[in-house]
Amino acid sequence: MSPVPVQATQRKSIIFDPGNRLTPQEMDDLVRNPTVQQLIQTYDGLINDILLSVGRQKWIDRLEGVGLVFDPGMNGVHIPNPTTGKSTILINPFIRIGSIPDQKYQLGRILYESS
């Protein structure tokens, strides 16, 4: 898992590439990409708003990370950390690409829907 330097998030920001399909340079480019950072910030804010609306402080306190996972076989994943007793939630931002008919607008649509 690679940490992402995102400002104004409630939790640690992470990118996870199971199987290490990305080269170190590609991962570095993603980590530094402002659009990727904004997407993680949006997901963090959305998850935070959901947790606040549910009103369970214990859940809020237990979530230590939010980020992206790049695995075509999963929509997202919850990863418990046995060391801290907390968890990270990772979301696959590309899982819906196949359902958007016009490929030329796919990434823009995903970014629009996530904001």
Radius of gyration of the chain (CA): 14
pLDDT category at 56 given cuts 50, 70, 90 is confident
pLDDT category at 113 given cuts 50, 70, 90 is low
Q: What is the pLDDT of residues 57-84, one digit of tens each?
A: 898 999 999 999 988 888 899 999 999 9
- Mean pLDDT over the full length of the chain: 85
pLDDT given for residue 6 in this prediction: 84
Verdict on whether the full-model pTM lies above 0.85: no
Residue for token digits 């993603």?
Answer: 30
The Cα 85–Cα 109 span in angstroms is: 36
> Which phi and psi (to 5°) does residue 2 adopt?
-110, 130
pLDDT given for residue 67 in this prediction: 94
User: Do the beta carbons of residue 13 and residue 65 sit within 8 Å?
Assistant: yes
Q: Which sequence spans correspond to the domains of the chain?
A: 2-114
pLDDT value at 8 more than 60: yes
pLDDT given for residue 107 in this prediction: 60
> Which phi and psi (to 5°) does residue 83 adopt?
-70, -45
Burial of 40 (0-12, 13-18, 19+ CB in 10 A): buried
